[in-house]
Amino acid sequence: MKRGRVLAVLVGGVFCLAVMSLYRKLEQMQGEEPQRDWETPAGQDLSLLQQKIDRLEYLLSNNNRLVARLRDSLLHHKASRKQEGGGANSSSEHAHIPAEPLSGCQLAEEKEGGAGGVQLLDVYDLLTFDNKDGGVWKQGFDISYRGDEWDEQPLELVLVPHSHNDPGWLKTFDRYYEDQTRHILDNMLLHLGQDSRRKMIWAEISYFSKWWNDIDEQKRAAAKRLVEAGQLELVTGGWVMADEANAHYYALLDQLMEGHQWLQTHLGVEPSSGWAVDPFGHSPSMTYLLKGAGLSNMVIQRVHYAVKKHFAQQQTLEFLWRQSWDSSTRSDILCHMMPFYSYDVPHTCGPNPAVCCQFDFHRLPGGRVFCPWRIPPQPITEQNVKERALLLLDQYRQKSRLFRSSVLLVSLGDDFRFVESSEWDAQFNNYQKLFDYFDQHPELHIKARFGTLADYFQALHRRLSASGTSLPTVQGDFFTYADRDDHYWSGYFTSRPFYKRLDRTLEATLRATEILFSLALAEMRRFHGDGRLVADFPAREHFQRLVAGRRSLALFQHHDAVTGTARDPVVVDYGTRLFHSILNLRKVLQSSAHWLLLLDKSQYHHDQSKPFLQMDDVISAQDALPQKTPLTLSDEPRSLVVFNPTEQLRTSVISVVVDSPDARVVDAETGRPMAAQISAVWAEPSRASSESFQLSFVAELPPLSLVVYHVTKAPVGSTPRARYTVYRHGNALTVHSEHFLVSHPQGQEADAPLSLSNKHVQIWSSEKTGLLQKLRLHTGLVRQVQVQFLWYGTRTAANQDKSGAYLFLPGEEGGQLYSSSEPPLIRVSRGPVYSDITSCFRHFTHTLRLFHLDGHAGKSVQISNMVDIRSEVNRELVMRLVSDVANGNRFYSDLNGFQMQQRRTLEKLPLQANFYPMSSAAFLQDSSSRLSVLAAQSQAVASLRPGELELVLDRRLQQDDNRGLGQGVTDNKLTASLYHLLLEERRGGAQEVGGASVQHLSLLAHLTSLSLCHPPINMVAPGDGQMPKLRDFVPLRSSLPCDVHLLNLRTLEDAQEPGSPSQEVGLLLHRKGFDCSSAPDPRPTCTWNVHEEVNLDDVFSPLRFRSVRRSGLTLLRRHDQPQSSRQQQLRPMEISAFRVQID
Ligand SMILES: [Zn+2]
């Protein structure tokens, strides 16, 4: 009864407010008009009227949005109120929450299983990993053949020349380009031009496009001719050859799109084959993107030697790689796995490197490189051609026995090859002589030629279909890579964690900017009604900043960049690019927001030196963490603008730093005061700043909205302040804090476990360390979850290989519990908005935080770490969760944030082999609960014992690990890492633990991860009295469905006017699969659908899309489907890409 009345009053209030605000705006307009009429010639009356109507319409639509937002907010309140009352069963008044809560999840479940192909997890169970000496092919076996195998079908050899150009590794991108790459490409024009039989493939578009900018039209035409003639093939077409372990799928797609768009514009081609010979392990997320971008074949190389051997024995080195969650053939892509140790010449012609090296004519005696097997190559002459040809043919024939068809792919190249003319001549002339010899001797049954990947795969498909040979299907991933012995490449999952986190900061900034910029351009066109942009808005400059940001993020996905495996100066070069891009994107974000927020758009003025909006933090250098700038408060309201870059209505705690311990925040539009809290800013662990204070308040942010708040100084003592309790066992302690109550517990109180709770969860921590011990949900479910910190060292004996940038080679003692001579200082803070426990250890500061929020954002525990291990030698710091979840030896970690992959911890493997990449999530589960860890950065993860999950935070290693880098990783910095811990009950058809089943994150985990990876962005307006009137920008009527993620809204380049934005926007939607066994509790306000069909106009209302065309994932025009309706199919787990215009 009482609740009903409150609701009625609220609804009434909303209505009155909307009407009043509309009235007020109409009045303002009337006041403005006469002024304009003064300046307007009479002949333009009609167009003026038109403008008036447009503007009225515009204001009306904005008011509709305001009403919609309030309605959303009301619904949200109703939902949380209902949960409060415990009436979750009487859901009749919530039409948007289905009675059977998780019907939609079955869409994803239906797709599981089915295909009877090879499961890589099963292969791991099967293999003994015994590392037997295989003879000349050390990691393989003797290959035999009779000699008549090719009598019917000759061996068809396609020799593919390539040059692997790292966009940064030992040298920076620019240095490599100047010293090597430009000469390689210049010579390519010359030497391919000389003989039409010569071929070459090229992968890295970052280099190719840089070279293109440097060459004249004549050379460009020559390059185009080579491409058209099929002599030069652009393979993969990515900006870089991306890392597949640490890279997030947003960035993987970004670099692919950047490369593909460039190729479309400048060469008019689209890649059909993938080429990834150097990334340190391979992920099916990459293959999904390649397939979605229109590629049909791919080559991979760095796969565990034991897996390669097994695949070679089974003749499954060529297979159809299928997504684990897909039971159809839709995601299949033909994959060729190179069988031997490396992609260089010694390891590609056949099993014997000592022989193959003799056919790398760059290593002819007298040159700079030689054969380590001590048998040098010989130039091919009439005298030796027969002997040489037969020697090589023997290798080709042996290699061919590992494949099902008689077409053979052999690559010819290495890192930065074909720089000098002499090398081109040496390789192409000598091989041509061998090929000519084969041609003259049909009895050898070999046809050999130079070719591209397209040539090879064309021949392969022809042979396979002619012989009716089918290829096996493979599901799973190729982590963790080992190239020899127990040398597992699990170190690079964490190396240079500072930059792995900076990468994700740029990613989030880029996505937010893309979306806001696209929305701003659409609003401007709508505002004018004639498609024009606002004259003063620097659309072209901003678009170029966006493109530069895309390319910085793209470059950093290179397999020596985000991996943390480049030399120190190269790391600084990457860091500087990321840093500058963040700063530049912020400019775009600020001025887009500025225009969108202005009530009177005529007041818009762009001044880059004095932007109207500023971020509330400053990043001072490429290796610095962001620092909040204190806001100066007075009685005049300061405008604080918060952008919600997610497609969901979210309740977030917004924190800013202010210069007063008393502050008040109100919603600028409604005047409603926000629940707030003042906390200390700790200058030192036991000294609170007396000048700056943290103001935190609960904000309700509609999807993709910009919301304006007013912050003012408040009467002394009027803002609730956090209360502190400080512990340090064994030592007396003085805490300096003049504005906060600090208690020092004594006696029994000091020995009781620490505890915090909100309405969803209670946590207990050790009073000695402050570290988490136990978690309890309001439903009663209790789980032990202990947080521990550990050190790993490396091997110590002089002759032992040690950990480095790539490799993790821990000492035999394994992980050692972190201990410190001095007990940590522990600060417990309690407030109405959030409460937390901070433990200050010598090497890290660790904080557990609970937000006092009603909705799902209050369900998870935030864990943040500030790590500094610069004082250490050969040590790695790990955070471990020890729980009583009975997960056996199975756990799940994500691949590129795109999908979850089951992992099995195997005792037969060394410790370092059981570490896997984790970009965003991992979980443990048993039949009644699931414990998920969601991460804001990439790192290594393992579950070495049941119930445990460990995350590697930083590594400092003094030595090189012999993979070419030539240095250790000792450039550590103060490094932040951020997580959310989510415990959920599993019920209903609770699944058995384990099985090779495909699992997804729960809906709540998806939403938590979304909020974590895309935090709200705070901007402040100047504090002077000349403030123009700002109004919230609320583009969507309601949240997108819970399982539909707006991956991007990316403005495309104008084809007619290069460097300028077009009206076309790439709309990328990712429909996530979610887990069926846990109902989201508390219920999110978003809805989910049981159908694959979605109406885009409904979902994005009131935005409307014109000319919707479904396209490939990289939005190539040639992949556009005919203009289609707004009714679109969004399949679970899949990304859908559309070219649209926003009306
Ligand atoms: Zn490389």
Interval 285-313: pLDDT, tens: 999 999 999 999 999 999 999 999 999 99
Ligand 1 center–CA 502 separation, angstroms: 22
Phi, psi values for residue 992, rounded to 5°: -60, 150
Q: What DSSP designation does 310 have? A: H
**940, 493 Cβ separation under 8 angstroms:** yes
Ligand 1 center–CA 427 separation, angstroms: 21
Indicate the pLDDT class of residue 53, thresholds 50, 70 and 90: low
3-state secondary structure (DSSP) of residue 431: helix
Length of the chain: 1143
Phi, psi values for residue 569, rounded to 5°: -65, -30
3-state secondary structure (DSSP) of residue 460: helix
Per-residue pLDDT of 146-188, as tens digits, reads 999 999 999 999 999 999 999 999 999 999 999 999 999 999 9
Per-residue pLDDT of 836-887, as tens digits, reads 999 999 999 999 999 999 999 999 999 999 999 999 999 999 999 999 999 9
- The pLDDT assigned to 988 comes to 52
Whether pLDDT at 1019 is above 70: yes
**275, 236 Cβ separation under 8 angstroms:** yes
Ligand 1 center–CA 270 separation, angstroms: 23
Ligand 1 center–CA 206 separation, angstroms: 14
**427, 136 Cβ separation under 8 angstroms:** no
- The pLDDT assigned to 691 comes to 95
Residue whose C-alpha is closest to residue 1040's, from 669, 645, 520, 698:
645
Say which residue, 685 or 32, is predicted with more confidence: 685
Cα 555 to Cα 873: distance, rounded to the nearest angstrom: 31
What are 678's strand-pairing partners? 695, 721
- The pLDDT assigned to 994 comes to 40
Cα 735 to Cα 199: distance, rounded to the nearest angstrom: 72
Strand-strand pairing, 939-942 and 948-956: antiparallel
Ligand 1 center–CA 166 separation, angstroms: 5
Cα 224 to Cα 267: distance, rounded to the nearest angstrom: 6
Mean pLDDT for all residues in the chain: 90
Per-residue pLDDT of 520-539, as tens digits, reads 999 999 988 877 888 899 99
**669, 642 Cβ separation under 8 angstroms:** no
Strand-strand pairing, 318-322 and 473-475: parallel
17-31, 216-230, 340-354, 789-803: segment of lowest average pLDDT: 17-31
Per-residue pLDDT of 308-344, as tens digits, reads 999 999 999 999 999 999 988 999 999 999 999 999 9
Ligand 1 center–CA 963 separation, angstroms: 11
Cα 314 to Cα 316: distance, rounded to the nearest angstrom: 5
Ligand 1 center–CA 168 separation, angstroms: 9
Known catalytic residues? Answer: 278
916 Cβ contact partners less than 8 Å away, ≥ 6 residues apart: 479, 480, 490, 493, 893, 901, 903, 940, 941, 942
Q: Can you tell me the mean pLDDT for 119-126?
A: 93
Q: Can you tell me the mean pLDDT for 216-224?
A: 98
Identify whether 1082 is preceded by a cis peptide bond (ω within 30 of 0).
yes
